[in-house]
């Protein structure tokens, strides 16, 4: 049943051309970068309302133009490179974070597919796919690319000849070595059930409405994946890398201007990627058959994004040793037990 549906979807769609993929890549870059800027605004507003403040109010209606003001500030600020830093690595590090975040988005279905209307010159009738690069091992690729993204903070911290930076880099390493196991093991149980690593197959597996969503079959894996995802995107309660109260700004201490901004674009793009994975793997994804499928997945992604802000407003930070304790002594055994139970049920 699953495979026939997936094949049906594949054969039903028009041919994907390189122009379509190029347009898709440009769309992802433009829209996600803009969303990252908008994300900072939403984050400040949501946090403000949860803490009974107003948040940004002065620039434009309800402070909406604050994004533009912040953007102008970031672009025009002087790009300072510390004297004793390893200059090349210092300059490359933010690019790694931003680039890997967008490369990860290449294998994720981000927006619905569409065909450019034929009255538009040059590009008319071009089919723009929903996934820029539909790998049949999509989930692994995305997780691997997001893992590579942590080289950004690591190299930034190590290259800047700053004690806070090196503490941030050390924390990056331990955070990566802690959560990585949990991410992989937690998502393994759903992969076993679906029998595929492709996002399209995951979507097809849950095509029969809310009752067939993976979250009902794998609630433990869902919670574990969310917790590991928070660690992966450096969100509170696991934002050890740039914990203001302890390490000034951690790996980002010496950064300013657009290089600093690139870290944030990468972080917000990663938040969106984790939201997309959670929505597709556990919450049914996009409903390919109905006409509002694109709307439901947008709502699911928005919900997970909001959840990250909500958790930030509600929970305190954890210490690095608490994170390691949590990941290795609680979450990893839970994930292994979950896999064992799933395997036993599947064998029976």
Q: Looking at 74, 132, 150, 221, which residue binds another protein (CB under 8 A)?
A: 150
Is residue 81 at the binding interface for another protein, with CB under 8 A as the rule? no
Residues 6+ apart with CB under 8 A from 24: 128, 129, 132
Tokens of 193: 């059930």
Q: Write out the binding residues for another protein, residues 261-280 only, by CB under 8 A.
A: none
Q: Looking at 101, 106, 132, 170, which residue binds another protein (CB under 8 A)?
A: 170
Dihedral sign of CA atoms 199, 149, 67, 237 in order: positive
Q: Write out the binding residues for another protein, residues 192-231 only, by CB under 8 A.
A: 196-198
Closest approach of another protein to the CB of residue 321, in Å:
6
- Spatial CA neighbour of 230 closest among 166, 167, 310: 310
Say whether the peptide bond before residue 237 is cis (omega within 30 degrees of 0): yes
Q: Looking at 5, 143, 182, 326, which residue binds another protein (CB under 8 A)?
A: 143
Q: Looking at 72, 177, 289, 340, which residue binds another protein (CB under 8 A)?
A: 177
Q: Looking at 4, 15, 51, 84, which residue binds another protein (CB under 8 A)?
A: 84
Closer by beta carbon to another protein, 166 or else 227: 166
From 19-27, 137-145, 222-230, 273-281, span contacting another protein (CB under 8 A): 137-145
CA distance 306 to 299: 10
CA distance 159 to 162: 8
CA distance 43 to 246: 22
Strand partners, 128: 114
Is residue 141 at the binding interface for another protein, with CB under 8 A as the rule? yes
Q: What is the largest CA-CA distance in the chain?
A: 64
Tokens of 99: 């680039």
Closest approach of another protein to the CB of residue 3, in Å:
10
Categorise residue 31: left if φ over 0, alpha if ψ from -120 to 50, beta otherwise.
alpha
Is residue 187 at the binding interface for another protein, with CB under 8 A as the rule? no
Strand partners, 115: 127
Closest approach of another protein to the CB of residue 94, in Å:
14
Please, is 321 exposed, middle or buried when counting C-beta atoms within 10 Å of its C-beta (0-12, 13-18, 19+)?
exposed
Supply the DSSP string of 229-260, one letter for each residue: HHHHTT-TTS-GGG-HHHHTTGGGTT--HHHH
Mask 310-329, x = binds another protein (CB under 8 A)?
---------x-x--------
Closest approach of another protein to the CB of residue 176, in Å:
5
Number of chain positions touching another protein (CB under 8 A):
37
Is residue 85 at the binding interface for another protein, with CB under 8 A as the rule? yes
Closest approach of another protein to the CB of residue 278, in Å:
19
Please, is 214 exposed, middle or buried when counting C-beta atoms within 10 Å of its C-beta (0-12, 13-18, 19+)?
buried
From 116-124, 143-151, 215-223, 260-268, span contacting another protein (CB under 8 A): 143-151
Closer by beta carbon to another protein, 197 or else 311: 197
Q: Looking at 21, 98, 166, 335, which residue binds another protein (CB under 8 A)?
A: 166
CA distance 194 to 205: 7
Q: Torsions phi, psi of 115, nearest 5?
A: -115, 130
Is residue 151 at the binding interface for another protein, with CB under 8 A as the rule? yes
From 49-57, 149-157, 275-283, 306-314, span contacting another protein (CB under 8 A): 149-157
Binding site for another protein (CB under 8 A): 84-86, 88-89, 92, 135-137, 140-141, 143-145, 147-148, 150-151, 154-155, 158-159, 161, 166, 169-170, 173-174, 176-177, 180, 184, 196-198, 319, 321
């Amino acid at each position: 049943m699953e495979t026939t549906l997936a094949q049906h979807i594949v054969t039903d769609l028009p041919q994907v051309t390189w122009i379509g993929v190029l347009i898709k890549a440009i769309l992802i870059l433009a829209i996600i970068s803009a969303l990252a800027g908008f994300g900072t605004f939403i984050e400040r507003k949501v946090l403000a309302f949860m803490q009974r403040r107003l948040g940004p109010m002065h620039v434009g209606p309800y402070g909406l133009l604050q994004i533009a003001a912040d953007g102008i500030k970031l672009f025009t600020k002087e790009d300072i490179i510390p004297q004793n830093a390893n200059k090349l690595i210092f300059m490359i590090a933010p690019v790694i974070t931003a680039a890997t975040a967008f490369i990860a988005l290449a294998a994720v279905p981000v927006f619905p597919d569409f065909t450019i209307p034929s009255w538009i010159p040059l590009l008319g009738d071009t089919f723009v796919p929903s996934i820029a690069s539909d790998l049949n091992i999509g989930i692994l690729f995305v997780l691997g690319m997001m893992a590579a993204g942590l080289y950004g903070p690591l190299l930034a911290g190590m290259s800047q000849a700053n004690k806070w930076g090196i503490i941030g880099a050390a924390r990056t390493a331990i955070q990566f070595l802690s959560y990585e196991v949990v991410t992989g093991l937690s998502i393994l149980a759903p992969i076993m059930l679906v029998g595929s690593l492709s996002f399209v197959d995951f979507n097809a597996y849950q095509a029969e409405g809310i009752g067939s969503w993976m979250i009902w079959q794998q609630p433990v894996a869902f919670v574990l994946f969310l917790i590991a995802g928070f660690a992966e995107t450096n969100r509170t309660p696991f934002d050890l890398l740039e914990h203001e109260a302890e390490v000034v700004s951690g790996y980002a201490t010496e950064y300013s201007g657009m290089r600093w901004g690139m870290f944030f674009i990468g972080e917000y793009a990663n938040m969106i990627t984790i939201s997309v994975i959670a929505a597709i793997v556990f919450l049914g994804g996009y409903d390919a058959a109905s006409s509002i499928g694109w709307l439901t997945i947008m709502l699911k992604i928005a919900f997970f994004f909001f959840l990250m802000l909500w958790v930030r407003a509600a929970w305190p930070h954890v210490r690095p040793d608490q994170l390691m304790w949590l990941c290795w002594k609680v979450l990893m055994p839970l994930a292994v037990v979950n896999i064992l139970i799933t395997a036993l049920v599947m064998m029976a």
